[in-house]
């Protein structure tokens, strides 16, 4: 899926959600996703499974580790749409 996606402007929320889940260690590592205005907040089982290079390749450079199980990624005002799509995948 990621090979079909080159920039953050060229795909829909479902594709982006799949890419984020993969970059964050897969479905088994992602517990839930939420949004706060411009940040995607994701609770993880293992914070060390994050692939920041993959996230960067998607066009998102600002990744913040927030505690032992949480990461925040600055994604812009579409954060809630991305979080919703991620939660659909994680169900």
Catalytic residues: 36
Q: Are the CB atoms for 86 and 21 separated by under 8 Å?
A: yes
Q: DSSP secondary structure string, 14-83?
A: HHHHHHHHHHTT-TTTEEEEEEETTEEEEEES-GGG--HHHHHHTT---EEE-SSSEEEEE--TTHHHHH
């Amino acid at each position: 899926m990621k090979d079909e996606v080159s920039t953050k402007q060229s795909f829909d929320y479902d594709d982006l959600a799949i890419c984020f889940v993969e970059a964050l260690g897969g479905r088994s590592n992602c517990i839930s996703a939420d949004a706060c205005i411009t940040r995607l907040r994701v609770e993880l089982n293992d914070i060390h499974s994050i692939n920041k290079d993959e996230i960067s390749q998607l066009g998102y450079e600002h990744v913040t580790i927030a505690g032992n199980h949480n990461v925040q990624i600055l994604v812009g005002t579409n954060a809630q749409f991305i979080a919703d799509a991620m939660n659909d995948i994680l169900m």
